[in-house]
């Protein structure tokens, strides 16, 4: 149990929102400390000082928590992207485009949940939540993608919203595969070392991917 946290049944909408935020915070802490399989509803409840029954007043499953945590990560990334674009970032030249790529890489790399939860999203998490929850989260993701696309166009990183949206969807799919590959488990690290298998760094691979994508879209726009 985390010091200062104890269970008090939420009565108002604001209290329910705070309970949910506490649940997401506790789950994120556990993900920083343990393997995904060890982050259970019981472990989350214990971290919060709740019973499992208390926890299920707010969420139905671990997968639902992770999906909500993924959406929260996207929201945080979008807010930071708005700050970056509002600081005068543009990409009218190749040098500015390179700078834009580096700032995007830094932003994405600073949000672990975008990668570590994204890696489980399609194959595991989305298959184990209610339709109602999935539709709600998908709508949030669609809306945030459109908002982020507008920001990238305003920075002149892309010529139009369709291009920017394609890039953002491709980026999320790429990160979903890259994150686990570049964050191997101990047994995977040992096997890679003994076999000579190269494990590429997350940020390095991400920087290359984003730079290539931005250059490609710029070339298409000039063609």
Q: Calculate Rg over the CA atoms of the chain.
A: 19
Q: Dump the DSSP string for 48-71.
A: HT--HHHHTTT-S-HHHHHHHHHH
Helical segments of 13-130, H only: 13-33, 41-48, 52-55, 62-86, 94-109, 112-116, 118-120
In the chain, the N- to C-terminal Cα span, in Å, equals 59
pTM of the model: 0.87
User: pLDDT at residue 221 above 80?
Assistant: no
Helix (H) or strand (E) holding 169: helix 161-182
Taken in order of first residue, the domains within the chain and their CATH numbers are 1-59 (1.10.10), 63-222 (1.10.357.10)
Q: Measured over all CA atoms, what is the biggest interatomic distance in the chain, rounded to whole angstroms? A: 61
138-153 burial: b if 16+ Cβ within 10 Å, else e: eebbeebbeebbbbbb
- Rounded Cα distance, 76 and 119, in Å: 18
Predicted pLDDT of residue 223: 58
Q: What is the mean pLDDT of the chain?
A: 89
pLDDT per position as a tens digit, 2-50: 444 555 666 688 888 899 999 999 999 999 999 889 999 999 999 999 8
> Between residues 129 and 214, which one has the greater pLDDT?
129
pLDDT per position as a tens digit, 81-105: 998 887 766 666 667 767 778 888 9
């Amino acid at each position: 149990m985390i010091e200062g946290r104890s269970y008090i049944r939420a009565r108002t909408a604001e209290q329910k929102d705070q309970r949910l935020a506490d649940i997401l915070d506790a789950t994120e802490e556990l993900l920083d400390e343990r393997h995904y399989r060890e982050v259970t509803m019981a472990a989350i409840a214990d971290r919060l000082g709740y019973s499992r029954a208390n926890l299920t007043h707010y969420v139905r499953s671990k997968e639902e928590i992770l999906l909500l945590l993924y959406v929260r990560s996207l929201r945080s990334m979008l807010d930071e992207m708005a700050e970056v674009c509002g600081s005068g970032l543009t990409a009218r030249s190749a040098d500015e485009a390179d700078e834009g790529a580096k700032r995007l890489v830094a932003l994405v790399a600073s949000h672990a949940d975008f990668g570590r939860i994204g890696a489980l999203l399609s194959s595991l998490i989305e298959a184990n939540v209610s339709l109602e929850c999935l539709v709600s989260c998908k709508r949030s993701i669609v809306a945030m993608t459109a908002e982020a696309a507008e920001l990238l166009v305003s920075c002149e990183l892309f010529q139009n919203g369709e291009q920017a949206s394609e890039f953002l969807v491709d980026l999320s799919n790429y990160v979903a595969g890259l994150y686990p590959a570049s964050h191997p488990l101990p047994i995977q690290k040992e096997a890679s070392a003994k076999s000579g298998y190269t494990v590429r760094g997350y940020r390095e691979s991400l920087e290359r991917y984003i730079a290539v994508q931005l250059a490609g879209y710029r070339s298409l726009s000039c063609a």
